[in-house]
Amino acid sequence: MKILTGQLKGRNFYMPAHIRPTQNIARKAIFDIIGHDMNGKNFLDLFSGSGAVGLEAYSSGAQRVVMVEKDSKCFQVIEQNCLQLNIPDLGLDGRECRPFCMDVFAAIKSFSLKKDRFDVVFLDPPYDQGLGKKALKTLEAYDILHPNSVIIVECGKREGLPYAEHDFEIMTERKYGKSYLVIFKKRDS
């Protein structure tokens, strides 16, 4: 696969064989909707798989990209992709790109304890297991989002998402093949 936008546009990266990748059209749509300029933004990629969406955010100028994936084979691929694309954990320009091999729900709790905050969160959990809904509820319970943060959920058509959560409102929904993108905005409280 290739990076679609930004400073790394056209560069190849690896994809684990056993995952369902975010399609190029959906990956491009994410940044068309939320904007291609990620300068100064903190981006969290949960259920990262290959790290494709996080790498795209880094290429688009995100100040900080955190990718969380608990599958050790996928995590190794994310580390390999960062090496191949010459993305350091912490660059000389102060930008940061860090993969973590851990459970998403434990990671959210850990970020909350450290007072980490994110501007954009992307969730691409395995389909039809209720993990998107659980992750949204966990994000609502733990304070890791800035006011007006954007949460993007990629899900299957049968996934039951909580559309009327207290802290989130739907900005838009889009369908791409068998996948849906649901984009939420954190309400400014």
Among candidates 155, 143, 154, 156, which has minimal Cα distance to 186?
143
What CATH number has the domain bearing residue 49? Answer: 3.40.50.150
For residue range 125-176, what is the model confidence (pLDDT) as tens digits?
988 888 988 999 999 999 899 988 999 999 887 776 666 567 888 888 888 8
Tell whether 115 is covered by a domain.
Answer: yes
CA dihedral 160, 166, 167, 173 (to 10 degrees): 40
Task: Work out how many domains the chain is built from and give that number.
Answer: 1
pTM comes to: 0.92
For residue range 18-65, what is the model confidence (pLDDT) as tens digits?
777 677 788 888 888 888 889 999 999 999 999 999 999 999 999 999
Tell whether 100 is covered by a domain.
Answer: yes
Tell whether 84 is covered by a domain.
Answer: yes
Segments forming the whole domain that contains residue 54: 6-186
Tell whether 1 is covered by a domain.
Answer: no
Tell whether 33 is covered by a domain.
Answer: yes
Tell whether 172 is covered by a domain.
Answer: yes
Q: Are 118 and 67 in contact (CB under 8 A)?
A: no
DSSP 71: -
